[in-house]
């Protein structure tokens, strides 16, 4: 394997954050929500505090950002994967007739 | 060429021809030939629509409406962008119209908004239930997203993972993550509540991320 999962670091601080504040399951919800709009101050604080103590959630954040970047900058690569998807002959004829009638 | 596999995005030739046209005419209006649109751009427009609508007849309709609107609006085409960019701009509106007409919010089922599938990753037998389970903790991408844009294997993986998204949710995901529309624009156009929009985005994003993680981030080189 090329990459490793982050190890859990059981420091006193991390232990405190994990016990007293929402767990990863809730924090990933805040992370994805933060990509579509602003969080409340409390949500933002909970997210930041957790990310400070949890490398797995940092990796999660980097992965979803990575995916967004590729989707927003890589139309060409994605389109080439589907270059075999084409209009059927019937649809093509119908579209041509429509264009000619409209002119 | 009709039927030839052409990339949907703007090839250098398309860009050049648009620029040349603009220079040659030297005026605001550019001569365009609607008769050639179906052969020149039809497949590309169809693919663009199909990826977002996930329904071949809806995608064909959207292309047809796009071409007809384009004919009506021909005088406003200035040649500043390529013909294809101009047509795709019109198609984007037709796709949103389609979603609006079909009232996404009425169609969402309990299954669409069910998060139990993505939450299985956080089940643990120990006191840390709710944190990432062993063996499913996200790994560091360890590369820049720039580095994969040109890699065909990456897009093969991405295409497979996108195709696996639930059809009715994939369109919303694409409007946001590929087209970059704002959350407000999407909710207004589709009549979605903020909470339904959030569930759709969370579910699709979690599923896509997990798929990409297994097939790309964790793959052995």
Quote ipTM for the complex: 0.87
**What does the DSSP assignment read for B109-178?**
-TTTT--HHHHGGG--SSTTBTBPPTT-SPBP--S-GGGGTT-HHHHHHHHHHHHTS-HHHHHHHHHHHT
CB contact under 8 A, A75 and B197: no
- On whether residue A18 sits in a domain, the answer given is yes
Phi, psi (5° rounding) for residue B139? -95, 160
Task: With a cut of 90, say whether residue B66 has pLDDT above it.
Answer: yes
- On whether residue A56 sits in a domain, the answer given is yes
Tell me what pLDDT residue B14 has: 43
Which residue from B34, B201, B217 is facing A36, i.e. has the nearest CB?
B201
What domain count does chain A have? 1
Tell me what pLDDT residue B92 has: 92
- On whether residue A100 sits in a domain, the answer given is no
Domains parsed from chain B with CATH numbers? 12-102 (1.10.1740.10), 105-217 (1.10.10.10)
Query: For A86, which residue in chain B has the nearest alpha carbon?
Result: B43
Angstrom distance (rounded) from CA A50 to CA A22: 8
Which comes out higher in pLDDT, residue A11 or B129? B129
Interface of A with B in 13-32 (CB under 8 A): 18, 23-26, 28-29, 32
Tell me what pLDDT residue A7 has: 66
Task: With a cut of 70, say whether residue B13 has pLDDT above it.
Answer: no
Tell me what pLDDT residue A1 has: 39
Which comes out higher in pLDDT, residue A27 or B114? A27
Interface of A with B in 55-84 (CB under 8 A): 56-57, 59-60, 62-84
Task: With a cut of 70, say whether residue B8 has pLDDT above it.
Answer: no
Q: What percent of chain A has pLDDT over 70?
A: 91
- On whether residue A31 sits in a domain, the answer given is yes
Return the number of CB contacts < 8 Å for A and B: 192
Q: What percent of chain B has pLDDT over 90?
A: 50
State the residue range of the domain holding A34.
Answer: 12-79
Tell me what pLDDT residue A86 has: 93
- On whether residue A36 sits in a domain, the answer given is yes
Tell me what pLDDT residue B20 has: 41
Tell me what pLDDT residue B21 has: 42
Nearest to A18 by CA among B180, B128, B213, B48: B128
Angstrom distance (rounded) from CA B36 to CA B117: 47
- On whether residue A23 sits in a domain, the answer given is yes
Tell me what pLDDT residue A23 has: 93
Interface of B with A in 35-64 (CB under 8 A): 35, 37-38, 42-44, 46-47, 50-51, 60, 63-64
- On whether residue A48 sits in a domain, the answer given is yes
Q: What percent of chain B has pLDDT over 70?
A: 83
Q: Express each pLDDT in B38-57 by its tens digit.
A: 888 999 999 999 999 989 99
Which comes out higher in pLDDT, residue B69 or A9? B69
Task: With a cut of 70, say whether residue B18 has pLDDT above it.
Answer: no
For residue A5, give the 3-state DSSP assignment: strand
Task: With a cut of 60, say whether residue A92 has pLDDT above it.
Answer: yes
Question: Which residues does chain B have within 8 Å of residue A76's beta carbon, measured at their own beta carbons?
Answer: 7-9
Tell me what pLDDT residue B22 has: 42
Average pLDDT over residues B152-168: 93
CB contact under 8 A, B131 and A94: no
For residue B219, name the pLDDT band (cuts at 50, 70, 90). confident
- Most distant CA atoms of chain B, gap in Å: 73
For residue B182, name the pLDDT band (cuts at 50, 70, 90). very high
- On whether residue A103 sits in a domain, the answer given is no
CB contact under 8 A, A78 and B155: yes
């Amino acid at each position: 394997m090329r990459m490793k999962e982050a190890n859990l670091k059981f420091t006193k601080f991390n232990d405190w954050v994990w016990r007293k504040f929402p767990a990863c399951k809730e924090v990933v919800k805040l992370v994805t929500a933060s990509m579509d709009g602003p969080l409340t101050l409390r949500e933002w604080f909970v997210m930041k505090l957790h990310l400070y103590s949890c490398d797995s959630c940092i990796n999660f954040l980097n992965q979803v950002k990575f995916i967004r970047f590729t989707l927003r900058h890589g139309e060409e690569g994605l389109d080439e994967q589907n270059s075999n998807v084409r209009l059927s002959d019937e649809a093509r004829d119908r579209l041509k007739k429509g264009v000619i009638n409209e002119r | 060429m009709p039927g030839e596999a052409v990339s949907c995005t703007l090839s250098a030739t398309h860009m050049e021809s648009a620029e040349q046209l603009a220079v040659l005419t030297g005026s605001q209006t550019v001569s365009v030939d609607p008769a050639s649109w179906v052969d020149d751009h039809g497949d590309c427009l169809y693919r663009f629509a199909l990826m977002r609508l996930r329904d071949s007849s809806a995608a064909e309709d959207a292309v047809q409406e796009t071409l007809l609107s384009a004919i009506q609006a021909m005088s406003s085409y200035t040649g500043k962008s390529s013909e294809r960019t101009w047509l795709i701009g019109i198609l984007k509106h037709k796709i949103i119209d389609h979603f609006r007409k079909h009232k996404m919010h009425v169609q969402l089922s309990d299954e669409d908004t069910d998060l139990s599938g993505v939450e299985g990753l956080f089940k643990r037998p120990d006191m840390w239930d709710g944190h990432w389970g062993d063996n499913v903790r996200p790994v560091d991408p360890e590369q820049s997203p720039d580095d994969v844009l040109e890699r065909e294997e990456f897009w093969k993986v991405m295409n497979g993972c996108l195709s696996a998204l639930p059809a009715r949710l994939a369109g919303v995901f694409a409007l946001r993550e590929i087209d970059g529309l704002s959350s407000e624009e999407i909710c207004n156009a589709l009549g979605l509540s903020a909470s339904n929009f959030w569930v759709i985005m969370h579910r699709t994003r979690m599923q896509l991320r997990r798929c990409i993680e297994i097939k790309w981030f964790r793959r052995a080189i």
